[in-house]
């Protein structure tokens, strides 16, 4: 079976931006697999000859749901069905209580989890924006700019052994 990589994280952290960046690579194919949850997008991506399926989770559809509940649900689904989890946080927003809670959940899985701090658009701001996230006690933290591409090759080099 193809390796499944799931993108999870609060709304607005940049999941869809990363999905689009990875899925618009020459060898990617956006594949609306029938019979799967409607609010999720799937793309077939090949990175250095290693194929995987990337899953982007949608927004909140239940208005009564809290963001943390929603992400907890996403995280539990991802822990169940994905092989690799990209947990995205927002480097510009800083660390949030919701991030702390979801990280605690993700630390308990045997799946490969990549803890990613997005919106780090240049190396100059990397150290400063990462600092609050060290409090999570997870290593490594992957600095990324889904928008500009900074950190993507480094992240994917780390992912490659898991593919």
Q: Which of residues 90-129 bind ligand GDP (CB under 6 A)?
A: 118-119, 121
| 14 annotated as belonging to a binding site for a ligand | yes
Look up tokens 């600092």; give the residue: 131
What are the E-state strand segments in the chain?
3-8, 29-30, 40-47, 50-57, 84-90, 112-118, 141-143
The item of Mg ion, ligand GDP, none sharing an interface with residue 151, based on CB under 5 to 8 Å by kind, is: none
H-run or E-run covering 97: helix 97-106
- Contact between 12 and ligand GDP by CB under 6 A: the answer reads yes
CB nearer to ligand GDP: give 11 or 50: 11
Mask of contacts with Mg ion, 8-47, x by CB under 5 A? -------xx-------------------------------
Question: Rounded to whole angstroms, how far apart are CA atoms 96 and 61?
Answer: 22
- Contact between 147 and ligand GDP by CB under 6 A: the answer reads yes
| 13 annotated as belonging to a binding site for a ligand | yes
Look up tokens 């077939």; give the residue: 44
Site residues (vs Mg ion, CB under 5 A): 15-16
């Amino acid at each position: 079976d193809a390796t499944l990589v799931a993108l999870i994280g609060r709304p607005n952290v940049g999941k869809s931006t990363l999905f689009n960046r990875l899925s618009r690579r020459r060898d990617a194919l956006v594949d609306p697999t029938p019979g799967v949850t409607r609010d999720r997008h799937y793309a077939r991506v090949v990175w250095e000859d290693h194929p995987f399926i990337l899953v982007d989770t949608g927004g909140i559809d239940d208005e009564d749901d809290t963001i943390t509940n929603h992400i907890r649900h996403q995280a539990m689904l991802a822990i169940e069905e994905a092989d690799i989890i990209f947990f995205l946080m927002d480097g510009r927003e800083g660390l949030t209580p919701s991030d702390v809670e979801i990280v605690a959940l993700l630390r308990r899985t045997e799946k490969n989890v990549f803890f990613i701090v997005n919106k780090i658009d240049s190396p100059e701001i990397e150290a400063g924006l990462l600092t609050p996230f060290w409090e999570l006690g997870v290593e490594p933290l992957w600095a990324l700019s889904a928008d500009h591409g900074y950190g993507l090759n480094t992240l994917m080099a780390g992912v490659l052994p898991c593919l």
